[in-house]
């Protein structure tokens, strides 16, 4: 938490003397959380390849064993830094052990290879990131201490005190994404009190994962300034409360063209045969996390069944109403959990639908 925001602003205004701060960001060994550290450069990098490879002590981040603990950070995606502004940058990195071997938590490496193979189909994605805001004690924002709010109903896209809590964070995050150059498509208050969503996309190929991870970095970084925590737990409250997903909207060139609905339907047919393989990579615990969320209630399909339908929010895959009406567009995979790795999700979809792989 910023101890005193107005004092901090004075320091942030000081002259940087043409130095550029580059914040290196990477996914840690949990495959859910991010780490970062900052480096001074003497020039303004225009692309990730201009930024030096760096390293970190993997042993303290569940990414390597103590006696062989150096992990390399390979720069892959560069953004403007909305926190430090000016020429400063955010730099997303892949993690490698020596000899160019990706770490176990580096899912981008294989995703990029698959996306390269599928280049001609121009796979587009849009991910809806749901999350919950918690105070420093771990209590969901707006929930009464030790109790429950009124049942769900008034909170989705809600307006006004009592309906929504934490909107400042949502607004700051929206602007921060725009400043950074992230394709944030929109945002809304969600079904459970204290729950929100932002959408990233459409993005092509491996860029979906890059943009979503940096958007996740920014929501946590902004919330940090308010002393608030962000939870990506797929089912923050058991019982009659909605969980958090990361619906993945997907299309190819063929699906977007007139009559593309035929290709959407055959994609769903392909996906129906690979339900188990998809569920396995749709949360960091190979389905265990999603088990709590995909119950068949709260606009989810049971984890055990594959279902689809037009405008059907209780299905695994939904064809949006307007897509059915226009006969072209995209499909929505509603199964990925809020804490899923978008590299794994998008890779799996392209393997199944475009490359026809097991
Ligand atoms: P929902 O009705 O499920 O809440 P949202 O409006 O929250 O849907 O999110 C829709 C997402 O779909 C957005 O992220 C948007 O960028 C994405 N999207 C729109 N068109 C396409 C497309 N042709 N291919 C892939 N994603 C798309
Ligand atoms: Mn949505
Ligand atoms: Mn939603
Ligand atoms: Mn959705």
- Confirm if 97 and 59 have CB atoms less than 8 A apart: no
- Confirm if 192 and 153 have CB atoms less than 8 A apart: no
CA-CA distance, 85 to 74, in Å (whole number)? 23
Residues 84-101 have pLDDT tens digits of 999 999 999 999 997 789
Instruction: Return the best residue to mutate from 122, 129, 130, 199 for the ligand 1 pocket (most ligand atoms within 8 A of CB).
Output: 199
> What is the length of the chain?
358
Instruction: Return the best residue to mutate from 174, 202, 264, 336 for the ligand 1 pocket (most ligand atoms within 8 A of CB).
Output: 202
Q: Would you say the C-alpha torsion 185, 33, 251, 304 has a positive or negative sign?
A: negative
- DSSP code at position 140: B
Mark out the alpha helices in the chain (DSSP H runs): 5-12, 108-117, 167-180, 207-225, 253-256, 261-272, 275-280, 288-293, 321-326, 342-353
Instruction: Return the best residue to mutate from 122, 128, 267, 309 for the ligand 1 pocket (most ligand atoms within 8 A of CB).
Output: 128
What is the longest distance spanned by two Cα atoms in the chain? 60
Average pLDDT value for residue range 194-211: 98
Ligand nearest, relative to CA of residue 201: 1
Query: Is 0.85 surpassed by the pTM of this model?
Result: yes
Per-residue pLDDT for 194 more than 80? yes
Please check whether the domain covering 115-353 is classified as CATH 3.30.590.10: yes
- DSSP code at position 331: E
Average pLDDT value for residue range 131-151: 95
Q: What is the model's pLDDT at position 184?
A: 98
Interval between CA 126 and ligand 3 midpoint (Å): 12
Select 5-105's CATH number: 3.30.2310.20, 3.10.20.70, 3.40.50.620, 3.40.50.2020. 3.10.20.70
- Confirm if 349 and 308 have CB atoms less than 8 A apart: no
Interval between CA 85 and ligand 3 midpoint (Å): 31
Interval between CA 129 and ligand 3 midpoint (Å): 8
Ordered by start, the domain boundaries in the chain are 5-105, 115-353
E runs forming strands in 14-88: 20-27, 34-41, 54-57, 70-80
Quick one: pLDDT band at residue 56, thresholds 50, 70, 90?
A: confident
- Print burial letters for 241-265: b (CB count within 10 Å at least 16), e (below 16): bbbbbbbbbbbbebbbeeebbebbe
Strand 34-41 and strand 70-80: the pairing is: unpaired
Average pLDDT value for residue range 159-168: 96
Quick one: pLDDT band at residue 3, thresholds 50, 70, 90?
A: low
Quick check: CB of 130 below 6 Å from ligand 1? no
Q: pLDDT above 90 covers what percent of the chain?
A: 91
Non-local (6+) Cβ contacts of 227 within 8 A are 1, 135, 136
What ligand 1 atom has the least distance to the C-alpha of 202? 16
Interval between CA 15 and ligand 1 midpoint (Å): 42
CA-CA distance, 256 to 252, in Å (whole number)? 6
Q: 93: which strand partners? A: 75
């Amino acid at each position: 938490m910023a101890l005193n925001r107005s004092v901090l602003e004075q320091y942030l205004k000081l002259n940087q003397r043409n130095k550029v701060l580059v914040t290196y960001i990477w996914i840690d060994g949990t495959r859910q959380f991010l780490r970062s550290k900052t480096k001074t450069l003497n020039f303004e990098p225009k692309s990730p390849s201009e930024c030096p490879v760096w390293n970190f002590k993997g042993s303290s981040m569940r990414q390597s064993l103590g006696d062989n603990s150096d992990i390399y950070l390979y720069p892959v995606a560069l953004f403007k830094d909305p926190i430090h502004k000016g020429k400063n940058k955010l730099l997303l990195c892949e993690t490698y052990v020596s000899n160019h071997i990706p770490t176990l938590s580096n899912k981008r490496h294989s995703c990029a290879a698959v996306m390269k193979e599928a280049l001609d189909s121009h796979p587009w994605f849009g991910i809806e990131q749901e999350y919950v805001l918690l105070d420093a004690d771990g209590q969901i924002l707006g929930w009464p201490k030790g109790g429950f709010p009124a049942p769900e109903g008034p909170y989705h896209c809600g307006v006004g005190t009592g309906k929504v809590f934490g909107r400042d964070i949502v607004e700051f995050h929206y602007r921060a994404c725009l400043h950074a150059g992230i394709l944030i498509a929109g945002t809304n208050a969600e079904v459970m009190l204290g729950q929100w969503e932002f959408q990233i996309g459409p993005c092509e190929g491996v860029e979906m994962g890059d943009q979503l991870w940096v958007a996740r970095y920014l929501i946590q970084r902004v919330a940090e300034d308010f002393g608030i925590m962000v939870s990506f737990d797929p089912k923050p409250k058991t019982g009659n409360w909605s969980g958090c997903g990361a619906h993945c909207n997907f299309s190819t060139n063929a699906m977007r063209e007139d009559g593309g609905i035929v290709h959407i339907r055959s994609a769903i047919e392909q996906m129906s045969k690979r339900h188990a393989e998809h569920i396995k990579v749709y949360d960091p615990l190979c389905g265990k996390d999603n088990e709590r969320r995909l119950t068949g209630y709260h606009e989810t399909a049971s984890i055990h069944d594959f279902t689809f339908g037009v405008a059907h929010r209780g299905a695994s895959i939904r064809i949006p109403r307007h897509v059915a009406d226009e006969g072209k567009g995209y499909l929505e995979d509603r199964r990925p959990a809020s804490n899923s790795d978008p590299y794994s999700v998008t890779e799996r979809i392209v393997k199944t639908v475009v490359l026809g792989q097991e």
